[in-house]
Amino acid sequence: MPLTWTVESPWEDYFTLVQWDQRGAGKTYASNDPKVIAPTMTIPQMTSDTAEVVRYLRERLHKRKIIVVGHSLGSVLGVALAQQHPEWMYAYVVVGQYVSSQLNEEAYL
């Protein structure tokens, strides 16, 4: 999150920006027992988590629709959310679309 401040801070003049740690990542990583969280680290569960965050934001901000940005694995979750709930979004913006974990790993090994 500290690095994103340099890129995202100018947008704060125009938008309310919200970042969240995906299940088992960032600040939530140290807060959870890996043995307990590992079985819940699935795309369907994490897509459900994404939907919960968006539901919360729409309610909290009193907005019928919001703009969702997905980066890396968040791009997978964002695509799934856009397919399931297009009515929740003005737009879905992708940065660094995640396509294939196998090809990604091969490119960096």
Q: How many domains does the chain have?
A: 1
Residue among 61, 60, 78 at smallest CA distance from 69: 78
Q: Is residue 2 domain-resident?
A: no
Q: Is residue 89 domain-resident?
A: yes
Q: Is residue 73 domain-resident?
A: yes
What is the number of alpha carbons within 13 Å of residue 53 lying toward its C-beta? 20
The residue-averaged pLDDT of 47-75 equals 94
Q: Is residue 33 domain-resident?
A: yes
Whether residue 82 has pLDDT greater than 70:
yes
The residue-averaged pLDDT of 64-74 equals 91
Give the structural domain span for 38: 19-108
Q: Is residue 1 domain-resident?
A: no
Q: Is residue 6 domain-resident?
A: no
Q: How far apart are CA 76 and CA 83, in angstroms?
A: 11
Q: Is residue 4 domain-resident?
A: no
* More confident site: 1 or 84: 84
Residue found under tokens 């959310």: 81
Q: Is residue 94 domain-resident?
A: yes
The residue-averaged pLDDT of 92-109 equals 76
Burial class (CB in 10 A: 0-12, 13-18, 19+), 24: middle
